Amino acid sequence: MIPFLYFLLAAVGLVFGSFLGALSYRLPRNISIIKGRSFCPNCQKPIAWFDNIPLLSFLLLKGRCRNCQKKISWRYFLIEFSTGAIFVFYLFNLLNCHFLFSQNLACRLFSQFGMSSVVVSLVLFLIVISIFIIDFEKKIIPDELNFWGLVLTFFFLLFSGYSGILNSFFWGSFFSSLFIFIYLLTRGRGMGLGDAKVVFWLGFFLGWPWIILWLLLAFLTGAGVGIILILLKKTSFGKEISFGPFLAFSFFLIFFFGDKFLIWMGF
């Protein structure tokens, strides 16, 4: 039964990863997500269903479009693989809550809210992965993603009967206000409004003390990558670096390993 669950969640993750590949391409370009089949970015011809099987089609076609033979970006393969891997690791996490991950956020949510937390967590993963991709590639965080993230968080916490909803709302609002202040102070050069919106709803979801740890890790990883890029002469001081990917990456660190960080920090 357990191997079947792994296979099932891996397949679901790969399918949704394929969807995220199209979503992250279309959304910043104002192309309808609902209408129209997947198409090759080079020749614009529709992709047949048998050429759109996650991972497998990319490998069989050797990373090229069947019609124009132009190379297909590795982004699609990486997005599909990463989404599937995160889904599988989430299941591994839940199946080992009593042994390895008993105090982390994923296990706490499951023990408190049951299967509803599984659905919400997986959808949340899709939104956060989309934020990572789009902000990394286009340096924007679409309002649609923030809207659905907020709606998901609000209704989940409201209808689950979570007693700390007001406390979580306060901390999300507080740190989001700080990001807005940085945005106004630097005139958009130090932080974007999209980042502030993500901090509001994702901070609302995490609550205290997870939110402070999440933001601390985001700033630390952002600073570390920034220093490396400067040393490699890929960027320079004062040049804008998207912060959304670090918020997204740090969220997954907190979701799966946050308890270890909290113990280290003495919470």
Q: Are 59 and 176 in the same domain? A: no
| Within-domain flag for 165 | yes
175-207 pLDDT per residue, tens: 999 999 988 887 767 678 899 999 999 999 998
Q: Are 130 and 184 in the same domain? A: yes
Q: Are 18 and 71 in the same domain? A: yes
Q: Are 54 and 102 in the same domain? A: no
245-254 pLDDT per residue, tens: 999 999 999 9
Q: Round to whole Å and give the CA distance between 118 and 108.
A: 11
78-95 pLDDT per residue, tens: 999 999 999 999 999 999
pLDDT, the chain, mean = 87
Q: Are 138 and 250 in the same domain? A: yes
What is the count of structural domains for the chain?
Answer: 2
Per-residue model confidence (pLDDT) at position 190? 66
If one compares 94 and 262, the residue with the highest pLDDT of the two is: 94
Q: Are 114 and 197 in the same domain? A: yes
Cα–Cα nearest to 221, from 244, 198, 192: 244
Identity of the amino acid at 89? F
How far from the centroid of its chain's Cα atoms is residue 131's Cα?
6
Q: Which two tokens stand for residue 193?
A: 């409004």
CA distances from 236 to 63, 127, 140, 217, 241 (A): 34, 30, 20, 22, 10
| Within-domain flag for 222 | yes
What residue numbers bound the domain in which 11 lies?
1-81
Report, as an integer, the average pLDDT of 212-227: 89
Q: Are 103 and 157 in the same domain? A: yes
Q: Are 118 and 66 in the same domain? A: no
Where among 81, 110, 135 does a domain terminate? 81
| Within-domain flag for 210 | yes
Q: Is a pLDDT exceeding 60 seen at residue 256?
A: yes
Q: Are 74 and 143 in the same domain? A: no
Q: Are 124 and 256 in the same domain? A: yes
